[in-house]
Amino acid sequence: MKNDQPYPTISALQAALATGETTTVATVNHYLKRIEAATDLNIYVEVWAEEALQEAERQDTARADGKKMGQLAGVVVSLKDVLCYAEHRVSAASKMLKNFVSPYSATAVERLLKEDAIIIGRTNCDEFAMGSGNENTVYGPTKNAADPDRVPGGSSGGAAVSVQAGTCLIAVGSSTGGSVRQPASFCGLYGLKPTYGRVSRHGLIAYGSSFDVIGLLGREPADLALVLSVIAGADEFDSTAPNRMVPRYDRTSSEGPKKIAYFPDLMHSDGIAPGIKTDLENTLEDLKEKGHELVPVTFDLFDYVVPAYYVLTTAEASSNLSRFDGLRYGYRHPEANSLEETYRKSRSEGFGLEVQRRILLGAFVLSSGYYDAYYERAQKVRRLIRDRLMAILSENDFILMPVSPSLPWKIGAQKDDPVANYLADIYTVLANLAGLPAMAIPTATGEQGLPLGYQLMAANWNEAELLAFAERLKKA
């Protein structure tokens, strides 16, 4: 589906609003028409059209009266269906929470609203953010706008397609192991996963608490930089969000040649699709021609990355999802006649198969006799991975890697093969295991008309340089 953005950047949109070339109401109406035209892609699970138009009218009136507008005035944003928005439904794409109305807003959502962002709806995703293709959802799969027979990536697949199909300017998603970068890459977008703790997790439905971050998807690094400046920072409701200064990411520039580490072994791996491998080789050559230093490094822990990630995240998921028991809130089976039946029937029907699989895996690795053998060892591997990546980044500005070993697969092709879905995360989970910032960067369109790209990782809290370098590459 062709993207149709009359004002493709935040700066262009706000300039048009300031001169009267367009209005906020006209902008919102444009996006609502795009949503209607894209219904076959199954992007949104709920659209807040009336609220969005009311807010647009308020902003147009305020602007006409000469009132000061927020940094995101007129910017239409979509929310992944795992972010709480007061007095609005949020379901994590699960039957367990299908009609749940949040009593409060996530801190990131509050900060968006404070700066006059317009939230247009909530987007489809993998259930409780567990998946790599946006197929594990009670609402049915979202389709890739580049090829509706293929997945858009996951778990923020709906978020990615909401920007790809031109139904909003910015999408807010979440990443536990690559759920922003992978769908961004599959849909030809920029996708930013900030440092763990850079954005408060308050109001984000938890999957793996020591991995989860709120991320952003868009068409311009400068747009992501501005939005990150708004939502980042300390929060009294989240102890993992430290009291560190938030720079103006949108005012940072990148200068001089950079040292970029890469893993030569990946270039010769049989597990990477030929088109992706060729694109990576072209990217490295292009960066070299632009004067940047490419540094080959070794990393001998790839075999342990996916096992460690899934041991740890399923353990945390098992704990986090224990609260959904059919008693306090969430789906409750109508025919349960005892406490045991309430637990068993409510959770068996409320959770999808992939969520049940991960809960069981997590309960297993945390059980007596297996905790030391699996969970404790996985934590040690996580430390080794983090230390190794930090050592590389102490001598280099960035690490360049593929985002995914494969192109977007056909919807349903991996439905009965969970291991194939898990292995799709092999290159993205590194940043989440180590808590590092990383960004998907689009490059080209492959032979099948599918987007191609790569990712860059940076040292902790170095989003400013990451975003500035991405903007520099785009302009070049």
Residue 205 near residue 451 (C-beta atoms within 8 A)? no
Is 277 an active-site residue?
no
Is 179 an active-site residue?
yes
Phi, psi of 400 (to 5 degrees): -105, 130
CA separation for the pair 465, 462 (Å, rounded): 6
Strand, coil or helix: what is 394?
A: helix
Q: For the range 375-381, what are the long-range contacts, defined as Cβ-Cβ under 8 Å and sequence gap of 24 or more?
A: 375/311, 375/312, 375/315, 377/311, 378/307, 378/308, 378/311, 378/312, 379/312, 381/301, 381/304, 381/307, 381/308
> Residue 8 carries which side chain, given as an amino acid letter?
P
Strand stretches in 112-258, DSSP E: 118-123, 170-175, 190-193, 213-218
User: Looking at the DSSP assignment, which residues form a beta bridge with residue 454?
Assistant: 441
Helices and strands in the chain, H and E counts:
16, 11
From 91, 155, 156, 404, active-site residue: 155
From 80, 143, 258, 277, active-site residue: 80
From 94, 162, 179, 404, active-site residue: 179
End-to-end CA distance of the chain: 27
Region for residue 430 given its phi and psi (left: phi exceeds 0; alpha: psi -120 to 50; beta: otherwise): alpha
Is 290 an active-site residue?
no
Residue 460 CB contacts under 8 Å (≥ 6 apart), including other chains? 195, 390, 435, 436, 437
Strand, coil or helix: what is 218?
A: strand
Closest by CA to 444, choosing from 282, 290, 289, is 282
Catalytic residues: 80, 155, 179
